[in-house]
Amino acid sequence: MSPTPSSKPTYRFRTVFISDVHLGFRGCSAAYLLDFLRSVETETLYLVGDIIDVWSLRKSFFWPQAHNDVIRTILGKAKHGTRVVYIPGNHDNMFRDYDGMVFGNVEIRREAIHETADGRRLLVLHGDEFDSVIKASPLLEALGNRAYAFVLKLNRYVNLLRRAFGFPYWSIAAYLKHKVKNAVKYIANFERALAQEAQRRGLDGAVCGHIHRAEITQLDGVLYCNDGDWVESCTTLTEDFEGRLSLLRWTENKEVITHSGALAPCSLEQAA
């Protein structure tokens, strides 16, 4: 089958994990996420929390067409054979009341155990459950406050300008997070708490979201994966059919995040 100009490339995965989409919040990068969802086929799609930002919707109602399209695209996948598991986060915590139920082919779960193609068992959960055990969490406070909303707003304008001048997407918030010492410490504590929980349960690792920082790393012999977010970094965690896990950054450029944190051009096998 030869690709026509209208047909998009399709990437096939065994599993895709996305979280922290924040639909209903102005900072949500729905257009990039839509492009991603329309470009991939996956057997299982985990929605790892903060998919709909109910907190933000309550403050000011914002629901553009693109946000609706994200929901429709996900429900379309659920209808056409993708197993969709929705694990609510803290911004959409009211859905936690429906633990164990199925709506429109979407399974709602408080948490899940995912088994990779190579037999590793991973705890999948949003991660806000660990905020209380981590002392000093300035980043967490920042996630809810006005300064953060301002940074994201600035982020949008800067990137509109960058795009107008032909520069690729660049995240101010992600950059700042890397530079602020307390934020770095909070991230380290969060990652360790998640890894320890997986270890405590005798699992091989954990997959989470919440702190908006994509990562795959080994901590105390346990795998820690964070699928990132779609307000700052536009990242997703993927599993291929051999059980290999990767982080992708999906903007104008499609990149694989390497273990050193550097970005490499996406070299995924393309199945037309």
Residues that bind Mn ion (CB under 5 A): 50, 89-90, 128, 210
| Least distance CB 127 / Mn ion (angstroms) | 7
Q: Which is nearer to Mn ion, 11 or 95 (CB)?
A: 95
Q: Which is nearer to Mn ion, 212 or 249 (CB)?
A: 212
Count of alpha carbons within 13 angstroms of residue 66, beta-carbon side? 18
Q: Which is nearer to Mn ion, 15 or 19 (CB)?
A: 19
Cβ pair 22, 47 in contact under 8 A: no
| Least distance CB 32 / Mn ion (angstroms) | 19
Cβ pair 233, 226 in contact under 8 A: no
Q: Which is nearer to Mn ion, 140 or 257 (CB)?
A: 140
| Least distance CB 50 / Mn ion (angstroms) | 4
Q: Which is nearer to Mn ion, 35 or 129 (CB)?
A: 129
- Amino acid identity of residue 68, one-letter, is N
| Least distance CB 203 / Mn ion (angstroms) | 21
| Least distance CB 14 / Mn ion (angstroms) | 25
Alpha-carbon dihedral sign for residues 53, 171, 142, 211 = positive
Say how far residue 105 (Cα) sits from the centre of its chain: 21
For Mn ion, which residue has the nearest CB? 210
Integer CA distances (angstroms), 223 to 24, 75, 128, 246, in order: 32, 30, 18, 13
Which is it for strands 222-226 and 102-103: parallel, antiparallel or unpaired? Answer: unpaired
As a whole number of Å, the end-to-end CA separation of the chain is 7
Task: Write phi, then psi, for 29 (nearest 5 degrees).
Answer: -90, 65
| Least distance CB 212 / Mn ion (angstroms) | 8
Say how far residue 254 (Cα) sits from the centre of its chain: 15
Q: Which is nearer to Mn ion, 40 or 140 (CB)?
A: 140
